[in-house]
Amino acid sequence: MSSKEAEQSRHPGRTAAPLDDIAYRILDVLRDNGRVSIAALADKVGISRANAYTRVESLVHDGVITGFSARVDQAKAGLSIGALVFVTVLPQAWASFRERVLEMPDVEWCAITTGEHDAMLLIRAVDVSGVHEFSTGVIAQLPEVRTVVSVVVLDEVIRRPYLLPADLPERSLEVPLGMTRWTPASPGRDALPPR
């Protein structure tokens, strides 16, 4: 593995070449329909089929596109309950905590966070008792975990597959921060290698 490839594997998405307008238009089309044919993609973006194919392959190779998958309505698939589980991890236990979470099939998404808690997990369950069993019987039992707080999701208002820079509105810097509170990551949390 070259030093560039090693750097990209440590920091995915941070070392790719800047994207141009055509790449963003391709990503915008794929966001709405990841199964679109190369011919239809080329037509919507206004480029040749060969160029569209080459550009999609390049976006995959550079790690901008990390995969293609179906979007599923969780409730219709039998997992009608979602919950956010906020976890505080004991110092020096980050690597082990990360490894354990990667092995948990209940976890749809996990992020290391700043603030009062160290990690936030989105889990799915068949019913509320499944959330309770996971929170108290699985996560809270880990030796790496100090505290667990679970919040049941009542309604998922919006869930986008991903955002692009053009989606973000320009905002005035004069807007007050209000109730925003920023807590930096504790030493060592930000140095964990991505998986």
- The tens digit of pLDDT for each residue in 17-38 reads 689 999 999 999 999 999 999 9
List the beta bridge partners of residue 152: 83
Tell me how far apart the alpha carbons of residues 59 and 162 are, in angstroms, rounded to a whole number: 15
Is the alpha carbon torsion for 59, 60, 63, 67 positive or negative? positive
Tell me how far apart the alpha carbons of residues 58 and 66 are, in angstroms, rounded to a whole number: 11
Residue 27 contacts residue 66 (beta carbons within 8 Å): no
Decide: residue 183, CB within 10 A, 0-12 exposed, 13-18 middle, 19+ buried. exposed
Range of lowest pLDDT (24-38, 72-86, 174-188): 174-188
DSSP 8-state symbol, 194:
P
The pLDDT of residue 186 is above 80: no
What's residue 10's pLDDT? Answer: 45
Break the chain into its structural domains and give their ranges: 13-61, 81-153
Q: Read off the tokens for 115.
A: 């603030």
- Cα atoms in the 13 Å half-sphere on the side-chain side of 48: 3
Q: What is the pLDDT of residues 147-161, one digit of tens each?
A: 999 999 999 898 888
The pLDDT of residue 88 is above 60: yes
User: Out of 3.40.50.720, 3.40.50.880, 3.30.70.920, 2.40.128.640, which CATH number does the structure's domain 81-153 have?
Assistant: 3.30.70.920
Q: What is the pLDDT of residues 40-71, one digit of tens each?
A: 999 999 999 999 999 999 999 999 999 998 88
- Cα atoms in the 13 Å half-sphere on the side-chain side of 87: 30
- The confidence band for 4, taking pLDDT boundaries of 50, 70 and 90, is very low
Q: Read off the tokens for 186.
A: 């504790």
119 phi and psi angles, rounded to 5 deg? -145, 150
User: Out of 1.10.10.10, 3.30.1330.10, 1.10.10.60, 1.10.1380.10, which CATH number does the structure's domain 13-61 have?
Assistant: 1.10.10.10
What's residue 7's pLDDT? Answer: 45
Beta strands in the chain (DSSP E): 81-89, 107-112, 119-125, 145-153
Mean pLDDT of the region 91-115: 94
Q: What is the mean pLDDT of the chain?
A: 86
What's residue 182's pLDDT? Answer: 57
- Residue with the bigger pLDDT between 145 and 92: it is 145
Of the chain, the percentage scoring pLDDT greater than 90 comes to 68
Mean pLDDT of the region 102-120: 94
**CA–CA distances in Å: residue 191 to residues 63, 140, 152:** 21, 24, 31
